[in-house]
Amino acid sequence: MTTTTPTIDDATVAELTERVYRAQTDAAAMTKLTVDHPSLTVNDGYLIQNALRARFLADGHRLVGWKAGLTSKAKMAQMGVDQPTVGFLTDRMAVAQGTAIDITRLVHPRVETEVAFVLGADLPTEGCTADDVVAATSYLVPAIEVIDSRYEAFSFDLQSVIADNSSSARFVVGSNGTRLSADPGFDRTTLGMALWRNGELVDTGASAAVLGDPAASVALVATIVGSLGAQLTAGMVVLSGGITQAVAVEPGDHISARFQTIGDVDIRFV
C-alpha cells in the first residue's frame, strides 16, 4: 500500500485530510476527491486515511480496532468496486446495544451485518493467514456496522472511499462472545444470518459471503494494516465485512441481526 510513489505532495495530503475530517465531524456531504484530483491512487487514499487516523487520535479518540470493507460480492456489486479495503475503528464509533444512534450526526447512514473478531493476541503484519487469525481470536461476536459515506449520493471510487476511512461511522457488537475453540464442529464459514428492520425481514446471508471465510478477511486486514505501518493487536475488535448489501435507515428504525450460533445484536435510530 505504501510502496508506490504518492501522486500528491504532503500539503495536498494535509488539505484532503482536512476536507474528509470536516465532512465526517460536520456530517456534511462532499464531492469525490477524484473530481479535483483525478490521478489519486489507492496508495494516496491510504496516506489520507493514515493522516485522518492521526488527526482523530490527536483529538483524543482511541483506536479500538479495524474493519474490512467491500469483501462480499453483494457489497462490491452494490458499490461498483472490485477490491477489499480497510478502515480504522475508534471508541467514538462504538455504540452500546440499547442506546439509540442520532441520525442527524450522520449524512446518509446504512446498516450491514458482520461477524466481529475479538483478538486475544497480536496478528502478524505480513503473510497473515486464516489459521493465524483463528489462533489469535478470543471470540466471535455478531455486529451491526453503520456505514456513512461522506460522498454525495453515497457514490464513490476506491481511492475516495479509502480516504473516507471506508465509510466507517458507528458499530455495535452483541454482548455474548462465542469461543472459536469451544466446539470442534463449529463452522465459522457457514453461519446463517437474518437482518430485520422494524420486525420485517430485509435480507439473509451466510458468513461465507465474506471471501469464503471471515477469518480470511481478517487475515487480509492484518496484512493491509501492516502495510500501513500499523498492526492488529490483542484486545482489538475486527469487523470482517458486510455479508449482504447495506440498507438505508431512518429515524425510528429498529434494526436487528440474528446469527446462527453466535447470537443477536440490535440497534435503534432516532
Q: How far is the CB of 167 from ligand OOG (least distance, A)?
A: 3
Which of 42-50, 70-78, 230-238, 254-262 is the region at the interface with ligand OOG (rule: CB under 6 A)? 70-78
Q: Which of 119, 147, 265, 267 binds ligand OOG (CB under 6 A)?
A: 147
Q: Which of 44, 145, 213, 253 binds ligand OOG (CB under 6 A)?
A: 145
The grid coordinates of residue 229 equal 505501518
Report d(CA 243, CA 117) in Å as an integer.
Answer: 15
Q: Which of 141, 146, 241, 253 binds ligand OOG (CB under 6 A)?
A: 241
Let me know: does 148 contact 246? Beta carbons within 8 Å: no
Q: Which of 230, 270, 54 is nearest to 146 (CA)?
A: 270
Report d(CA 206, CA 260) in Å as an integer.
Answer: 9
Which of 68-76, 126-134, 225-233, 262-270 is the region at the interface with ligand OOG (rule: CB under 6 A)? 68-76
User: Which single residue is written with the C-alpha cell 483463528?
Assistant: 134
Q: Which of 17, 41, 90, 167 binds ligand OOG (CB under 6 A)?
A: 167
Q: How far is the CB of 161 from ligand OOG (least distance, A)?
A: 5
> Taking CB under 6 A as the rule, does residue 166 contact ligand OOG?
yes
Contact set for ligand OOG, span 169-228 (CB under 6 A):
none
Which of 34-42, 126-134, 143-151, 256-264 is the region at the interface with ligand OOG (rule: CB under 6 A)? 143-151
Q: Which residues contact Mg ion by CB under 5 A?
A: 112, 145, 242
The grid coordinates of residue 39 equal 490521478
- Binding site partner of 149, from ligand OOG, Mg ion, none, Cβ cut-off 5-8 A by kind: ligand OOG
Q: Which residues pair with 269 in a beta bridge?
A: 101
Sign of the torsion angle spanned by Cα atoms 143, 146, 151, 154: positive
What single-letter DSSP state applies at residue 140? Answer: E
Q: Which is nearer to Mg ion, 12 or 168 (CB)?
A: 168
The grid coordinates of residue 104 equal 442527524
Q: How far is the CB of 30 from Mg ion (least distance, A)?
A: 20
- Which residues in the chain belong to E strands, given as ranges? 63-69, 85-90, 100-101, 110-119, 137-147, 168-173, 192-197, 200-206, 237-239, 247-248, 254-259, 263-269
- CB neighbour list of residue 65: distance below 8 Å, 6 or more residues apart: 88, 89, 232, 236, 237, 238, 239
Q: How far is the CB of 116 from ligand OOG (least distance, A)?
A: 11
> Taking CB under 6 A as the rule, does residue 159 contact ligand OOG?
no
- Length of the chain in terms of residues written: 270
Which of 10-18, 66-74, 88-96, 194-202 is the region at the interface with ligand OOG (rule: CB under 6 A)? 66-74
Q: Which amino acid, 29?
A: A
- CB neighbour list of residue 25: distance below 8 Å, 6 or more residues apart: none
Contact set for ligand OOG, span 75-114 (CB under 6 A):
75, 79, 112
Contact set for ligand OOG, span 4-63 (CB under 6 A):
none
Would you tell me which residues interact with ligand OOG (CB under 6 A)? 67, 69-71, 75, 79, 112, 145, 147, 149, 161, 166-167, 241-242, 246
